[in-house]
Chain A
Amino acid sequence: MEMNQLTIHELQKKIREGETTSLEITEALFKRIEAVEGKVNSYITLTKESALKEAEIADKEIEKGNIGELTGIPIAIKDLMCTKGVRTTCGSRILETFIPPYDSTVVKKLRGDGAVFPGKTNMDEFAMGSSTETSYFGITRNPWDLERIPGGSSGGSAAAVAADECIASLGSDTGGSIRQPAALCGIVGMKPTYGRVSRFGLIAFASSLDQIGPFTKDVEDCAIMMNAISGYDPNDSTSVPAEVPDYREFLSRGIDGWTVGIPKEYFIEGIDPEVSAAVEGVIKEVEKLGGQCREISIPHTEYCVTVYYIIAPSEASSNLARYDGVRYGFRSGEGRDLLDMYKMSRSDGFGAEVKRRIMIGTYALSSGYYDAYYKKASQVRALMKGEFERAFEACDVILTPVTPTPAFKVGEKLDDPLQMYLSDIFTLSANLAGIPGISVPCGFTESGLPIGVQFLAGPFDEGKLLQIAYAYEKNSKIEKRRPVL
């Protein structure tokens, strides 16, 4: 096994025992990146030089005995979390040259823990997409099948972990952008409760839905990453001033006596039979582990795509107004007057999907339509949130598929926005309700594509998600495979 193929906890053990160094891990990682990046395109920006320096510093700390859980571990960052002095593009031409003068809170935390930063990962432009095809910096491919998409919008972060181009990574999830690519790339991905992880420095797509979370190779690593990034941040008014437990403590507790809700609205027609068979397998496994699976109902599920595709673009249309060519970012040189400058910079700087969503959002907020769209959607959101609250009074967790199908082909849905939006159907509601969700590998299709299962829990119950995910991971007989590249 190469060092870059191991998990955080495996590497930590080796580091502690003096079997390897951060420099060795980081060098192995860049060897891998150089070998496969041409095929996968996980990264927008690689920072090899500074990463090697960070690794050397980490090794010195390790020598002194200052070993934290992430000391010396290379972690890739989705290119919408600001990194001081390292360009942060959000996958967009409009930010092609933007170099933030500050670190996002999560990056600051990881830096404080001694992590190494190999680079910034590819993503759908402004996180708007489910396939990582809308990036200005080229598409990212699924390491399991290069003809297919890795999911999105955090496709680069997911592919980088699956292809062993980093040990773990951070992504952001606005409607499934962590959980969906995690499922399609066969790794673990968690979207924490809204407010659990600071959004300061996360370039906003839809502020009331965005949340940063980890991609890892296994559930234990997910707990380690959650320990590192969670917590209140006075720079984010929506971050919650609540104590954060040690998530590792939940791992081996088991789920004996738990009630696991199976919402009937998530097992719809059109769901791929191989996906549904894999998820059925998880239900059986959960029962073997002492969990009681019970059908429940979240009646407003059928509206979540609509609600989401009103609220998210509305917020986005406002969040993306700052890209005007005045203070930073792309400006069209041909603009004659101010209005021209605005329109040309924005029209040339943004890609088609971003413009489409700005248009939907601007329309939904505009005079005469606000009540019918934005307000109505926010009311239905309230109803959905209430349904989840009631569900978690009766269930410990909810179990659903992550995606209706395995990874689809590159280009398949790019020209049909509505079909693309419908592929997020199982992940959107967690963002609308603000609750945490985790995607865990649960098998492969016959053609070798990964399938994931999703667990959802009540607000701040990430511990429960790790608990059931870990129990499932340990006891399921899912075959360990690696993508061949």
Chain B
Amino acid sequence: MEYEPVIGLEIHAQLLTDSKIFCGCSTKFGAAPNSNTCPVCLGMPGVLPVMNKSVVEFTMKMALATNCRINPVNRFARKNYFYPDLPKGYQISQYAYPLAEAGYVDVEVNGDKKRIGITRIHMEEDAGKLVHDERSPSSYVDLNRACVPLIEIVSEPDMRTAEEAAAYLRRLHEILVYLEICDGNMEEGSFRCDANVSLRPIGQAEFGTRAELKNMNSFRNVQRALEYEISRQQYVLESGGAVLQETRLWDDSEGVTHSMRGKEEAHDYRYFPDPDLVPIVISEEWIGEIAKTIPELPLEKRERFVREYDIPPYDAGVLTATRALADYYEETVKCSGMPKGASNWVMGDVLGHLKEDKLDITSSPVKPKDLGAMITLIEDDTISGTIAKEVFGEMWKTGNPPGKIIEEKGLTQISDSGALESTIDDVLKANPDQVGQYKSGKEKLFGYLVGQTMKATQGKANPKLVNEILKKKLSAL
């Protein structure tokens, strides 16, 4: 029998607010354990939560960016369960009244567009962190992360391949980062993903029994885990077995998923409305104000780049990977008037150097204004492409504008035909054999002679001019 996978994703994204969702403690990652804490996030007796307004607004942004309906009345509920990293014994979350519902995003897989539905987006607080000690029968609790704001984005079970799931995940990631509401760091846990996977015979409407996958902390792992789980379920079904409804953990080193069976218990979260928090009422005006702050999103930007700058979709994809990179590129285009040249330089040298120096585009020592100027200098033949490489290297090291570097190093292109003619005469004189062979039909040697001329001028000769003069002189011989 042919089976079809059905995949839904649950994504938790940490919001980039300065303070926690219900108290004023800092959300900064990497502080000493239990130092970003106060009676409220420690769940001390007597404390009360007060909602951070930015959390609502950030969530509204995500809702608008993913075409969701924003509910006019929102409530918080308590999700009750015991765990040492959960200070109050309940997590404040949203249950029956989430902030947003019924949205979608479009993704592209192998050139095909597909629409993935979003069931809901809701706000909640994160739990703390448990550290386990291999050598002692203890675990340690750090509550810095407790009460840090999260949004949970639940997709419809609309994905059919691991690739689609990965594409959807990337799309949400890039939107969150574009909106500047999440730093998207999967390793630090600010962007986390769980997956529900089931298989059903092709043509069947009902879903099969699903497994929930956890512990996948990179895009690659999500795809690998899904691929593994799909083939595992297929094997189970084909060998006449039944898939169990269970939680499975991805094991990165072994490349398999393991059942949590036995360690998991039936959940009965006893959700009820949190009496400590009042409903959030969201007006059309408020939604309008937030809508105004939403920037151009990656997909729209990509399409515009292809249209406006006439660059290949692949290049547009690379250049719009982050909002800062796209801004950098557009600024470079503006300063040079050369979209193609700008994309070559940004995708090549700029990204290369950034990677090498482990830098972020916002901290690039070469500013778009200077890169644009350099591209202009190539275009008007002030410098050659080869020299430009050298100039760029200097710009990267010093942060100086290209004009200054060219002047200091005397790198201006030789476009004076008089000076070039005598150099070329010297080159021809010094290479009588090659000239002879060229004349007898070995035209490939023309390149060699150009190279010798460039060498003699330390690369400063205008290559176009060299070509012209050399051709003229050779045919005159």
Contacts and interface: CB of A to CB of B under 8 A. Distances in A.
Q: Do any beta carbons of A and B sit within 8 angstroms of each other in the complex?
A: yes
B39 A100 contact: yes
A298 B84 CA distance: 46
B272 A365 contact: yes
A314 B48 contact: no
B228 interface: no
A327 B275 CA distance: 23
Contacts of A365: 80, 270-272
Contacts of A321: 80, 82, 88-90
Contacts of A100: 39, 44-46
Contacts of A207: 275-276
B270 A324 contact: no
Contact of B272 (A101, A203, A314, A367): A314
B89 A234 contact: no
Contact of B46 (A204, A320, A327): A204
Given A100-B39, A366-B268, A318 B45 contact: no
B87 interface: yes
Interface in B29-45: 39, 42-45
A352 interface: no
Contacts of A199: 48
User: Which residue, B82, B90, B143, B270, has most C-beta atoms of chain A within 10 A?
Assistant: B270
B144 to A, nearest CB: 14
Interface in B45-70: 45-51
A102 interface: yes
Interface residues of A, number: 45
Contacts, number: 104
Contacts of B84: 324, 326, 338
A115 interface: no
B141 interface: yes
Contacts of A238: 48, 275-276, 278
A328 B46 contact: no
A387 to B, nearest CB: 21
A439 B89 CA distance: 36
Contacts of B78: 318
Interface residues on B, range: 20 to 34
Contacts of A44: none
Contacts of A202: 46
Nearest to B80: A318
A109 to B, nearest CB: 15
Given A101-B39, A338-B84, A342-B82, A90 B276 contact: no
A22 B84 CA distance: 47
Contacts of B43: 322, 327
Contact of B50 (A206, A208, A234): A234
B373 interface: no
Interface in A153-172: none
B278 A237 contact: yes
A234 B39 CA distance: 15
Interface in B229-285: 268, 270-272, 275-278
Interface string A98-120: 10111010000000000000000
A4 interface: no
A200 interface: yes
A338 to B, nearest CB: 7
B50 A235 contact: yes
Contacts of B45: 82, 88, 90, 95, 98, 100, 203-204, 322, 328
Interface in A314-345: 314-315, 317-318, 320-324, 326-328, 338, 342
Nearest to B34: A327
B263 to A, nearest CB: 12
Contact of A237 (B51, B88, B141): B51
B358 to A, nearest CB: 39
A237 B82 contact: no
User: Which residue, B43, B46, B139, has most C-beta atoms of chain A within 10 A?
Assistant: B46
A152 interface: no
Interface string A124-160: 0000000000000000000000000000000000000
A367 B87 contact: no
Contact of A104 (B42, B46, B89, B275): B46
Interface string A77-107: 0001110000010100001001011101000
Given A100-B46, A202-B46, A318 B90 contact: yes
A177 B124 CA distance: 34
A326 B141 contact: yes
Nearest to B81: A321
Contacts of B277: 237
Contacts of A203: 45-46
User: Which residue, A317, A318, A338, A370, has most C-beta atoms of chain B within 10 A?
Assistant: A318
Contacts of B141: 326-327
Contacts of A80: 46
A201 interface: yes
User: Which residue, A201, A204, A236, A326, has most C-beta atoms of chain B within 10 A?
Assistant: A326
Contacts of B143: 327
A235 B50 CA distance: 6
A310 B268 CA distance: 18
Nearest to A346: B82
Nearest to B40: A235
Given A90-B45, A204-B46, A362-B270, A324 B275 contact: no
B272 A318 contact: yes
Contact of B275 (A98, A208, A317, A370): A208
Interface string A446-460: 000000000000000
Contacts of B272: 314-315, 318, 365, 370, 374
A317 B139 CA distance: 26
A372 to B, nearest CB: 14
Interface string A203-239: 1101110000000000000000000000000111110
Nearest to A336: B137
B275 A315 contact: yes
Contacts of B42: 327
A82 B42 CA distance: 15
Contacts of A88: 45-46
Interface string A227-257: 0000000111110000000000000000000
A136 to B, nearest CB: 15
A365 B275 CA distance: 14
B461 to A, nearest CB: 73
Contacts of B278: 237-238
A269 to B, nearest CB: 35
Contacts of A235: 48, 50
Nearest to A368: B268
Nearest to B39: A102
A366 B88 CA distance: 18
B375 to A, nearest CB: 54
A88 B42 CA distance: 17
Contacts of A206: 275
Nearest to A342: B82
Nearest to A338: B84
Contact of B87 (A200, A237, A322, A370): A322
State the 4 A-B residue pairs at the shortest beta-carbon distance, nearest first.
A321-B89, A208-B275, A365-B270, A207-B275
Interface of B: 39, 42-51, 78, 80, 82, 84, 87-90, 139, 141, 143, 268, 270-272, 275-278
11 contacts: A199-B48, A207-B275, A315-B275, A318-B89, A321-B90, A327-B44, A327-B87, A327-B141, A328-B45, A365-B80, A365-B271
Given A322-B43, A365-B80, 6 more contacts: A90-B45, A102-B44, A199-B48, A204-B46, A317-B80, A328-B44
